[in-house]
Amino acid sequence: MNALNSSPSSSGSQPEAVSAAGAQPDAAAQPDAGAQPDAGAQPDAAAPPDLRESWPTTDIGGSRLHLPQGSIPALDCAMWVLAIALVVSLNVAPGSREPGSAAVGFMILLPVVLQLLAWVLFLRGRARFATSDEIPQILITDVLVAAVLVAVSALSQGALLPLDAAAVSGAVALTLHLAARWLFQRFVAWRHRPQAHRTRRTIVLGAGYGGVQAISLMQQDQEGVFTPVGILDDDPSKRHLRISGVRVLGPWEALGQVANETRADQVLLAVPSAGPDKVDEVVEMAQSLGLEIRIMPSVTELVDRAPSYRPDASQLHSTNVFRPPQIADLLGRREIDTDVDAIGAYLSGERVLVTGAGGSIGSQLCHAIARYEPDRLIMVDRDDSALHAVQLSLDGQAMLDSPDLILGDLRTPGFIPALFDENRPTIVFHAAALKHVTLTERFPEEAFLTNVAATHDLLMAAASHDVRRFINISTDKAADPQCVLGYSKRVAERLTATIGRSLAPERRFMSVRFGNVLGSRGSALLTFASQLERGLPLTITDPSMERFFMSVDEACQLVLQAGVLGRSGEVLVLDMGKPHNIEEIARRFATLMGHPDAQVTYTRVRPGEKLTEELFGRGEEDVRPNHPLISQTSVPPFPMEKLDAIADLSERARWGQHGALVRRWMEAESGA
């Protein structure tokens, strides 16, 4: 397993439970009820087009319906008529004199007029029909109308309507108004129930907010294939709870019994905050019972996950957001506390250059940076297909004609000076690098040219072109390096610190160091997936080998945060948690992929590989003055008089020669 997630000139290859965006039962974020309907909405085709355009709409759980003009105030007026008629007919105020028909007619007409006035003056267009936004308006309106009825009754001394009857009429009207809306919601749920021919009978794990939203999505997704048949929750207070008609049938440990009783064939974990041990337990239990497992992601995950896996807006309202479990679920997820305002302050309106923009880290950085609306986002890579993919994921078009998309190799003579002269970046994220230990051991001159010489040229160009921040992406192998990859990246860290210290204090040149990124291009997980697909045994270097892991989203969030905190001369070390045993990860990954009995074979520890990586080298302290997950430590300077040696070695190593020479030089210069 190798750490730095970047390819040659590319970077290597985004509450308790929260629901998918748009699945809220209310519609607080929707347009006013009187707004023009969306282009995709389907009102009654028989109505004239000019009339349909003015019809109010309702939006319940993403199901938009168009209501005939005037239907809402007509319904509310009818409820008042019915309420007073019921109260009078039931004689709720015995002993009082019975009002005449004219008096009753006046007392019926009065609330109807008041209800219409309320609709015209302040109710129309304020809330979607039959949503929670309507409840305060219904309460206020009914209380006011009832107060007027009581006042009129009191002034007439009960001649028009007994005082008790007037008060009870308001309560009955409120009940009818709410009941009508509840029935309408049930109608919408029935109308949009799943229509699939073969639905998956699903047990939902978790009766919290996530479970509520998951069941809502299942019941409202007309094209969905999920039918909730039961809920499991370990909270005893929820043992008899019903959610939209679906019962809590017991604790999680009763999964086998409940699955047998309900004939379920799928489990949905609706607690995105569940820890890795709980997820692992659920996965093993489900697989032992022959049940398929899906996970409901949080909104944060949907927004931040890698763009190629992110559902579009239409899918956010459906069960398409449910996903299979991933190895990251079993390793644990952490909440990353980032200072959004501070990150935006140094990225917004700037010309940001990302090298290796088509790789795993580079492409995710581009997406994270784009959210802060830079003046330009200049993406550089020598892989044209990678550039095509990252632009497609950014704007959905990938016309490849944008001036911000630059195809080129950082090692090409003259490319870097021309790049800076033409684009004048103010912030640089340098993610382009070689990353494989074994290949860099075999071809040390290539590691030198890409990881050292190209980084040196970028730093010199950035220093002479008023770049205010330079963030060099490094690797944990630079800590006490024992391989060519580690030597080259340690030299790059020292070069970054040395150039940064020669500049004004407000210009910050720093390095950010972290380890293996899950699922990045060239990572071991992709190797394991290929081996499992072909029926081959999983190849493990050594049963004792351990590595640090983090998700690409974690890495990118902390890289952006490090850009706020770092100063020239520093390397910022991202907290990777505890190291994980590679064989254990391989076996858990095989279980997730449906191969619990996958075979494992051991190869050997290859030259340059360590059994366990370290995040800090000798003399480096784990000091976290500004962020609990980011350490800041100084890097020893690189002697300025030795910079000329890099250009000399570049010429001598250009044609694949003198590999032993550049290896010795990098090994010597990687130390303090």
Structure tokens at 538: 């999983």
DSSP string computed for 385-416: HHHHHHHHHHHS---S--TTEEE--TTSTTHH
Measuring CA to CA, how many Å separate 362 from each of 102, 286, 359, 460, 473?
Answer: 79, 36, 5, 21, 10
Indicate the SS3 state at residue 200: strand
Q: Structure tokens of 379?
A: 């993406």
Is residue 136 classed exposed, middle or buried when 0-12, 13-18 and 19+ CB atoms within 10 A define those classes? exposed
Tokens, residue 374: 């830079």
Distance, in Å, from the CA atom of 585 to the CA atom of 66, rounded to the nearest integer, reads 52
Give exposure, 71-104, as e/b (b: 16+ Cβ within 10 Å): ebbebbbebbbebbeebbeeebbeeeeebeeebb
Residues pairing with 632 in the sheet: 572
Helix (H) or strand (E) holding 574: strand 570-574
- HSE at residue 558, side-chain half, CA atoms within 13 A, is 29
Q: What is the β-pairing status of strands 600-602 and 266-269?
A: unpaired
First-to-final CA distance of the chain? 27
**Other CB atoms within 10 Å distance of the CB of residue 328:** 20
Q: Which two tokens stand for residue 592?
A: 């997730």
Q: Which of 477, 489, 578, 610 is catalytic?
A: 477
| 135, 189 contact by CB (below 8 A) | no
Residue 595, helix vs strand vs coil: coil
**Which are the contacts of 600, defined by CB distance < 8 A and separation ≥ 6?**
537, 538, 539, 540, 583, 586, 587
Question: Of how many residues is the chain composed?
Answer: 672
Is 435 a catalytic site residue? Answer: no
Q: Rounded to the nearest 5°, which phi and psi values hold at 376?
A: -145, 145
Chain center to CA of 248:
29
Q: Give the three-state DSSP class for 140.
A: helix
Distance from chain centroid for Cα 448: 37
Structure token pair of residue 555: 């890495």
Place of tokens 């007392």: 107
Question: Closest Cα partner for 354 from 329, 326, 323, 386?
Answer: 386
Pair type for strands 469-475 and 546-547: unpaired
Backbone torsions φ then ψ of 271, nearest 5 degrees: -130, 85
Collect all residues with Cβ–Cβ distance below 8 Å to 406 and sequence separation of at least 6.
378, 379, 380, 381, 419, 423
Parallel, antiparallel, or unpaired for β 57-60 and 63-66? antiparallel
3-class DSSP state of 301? helix
Residues 168, 174: Cα–Cα separation, whole Å: 10
Catalytic residues: 477
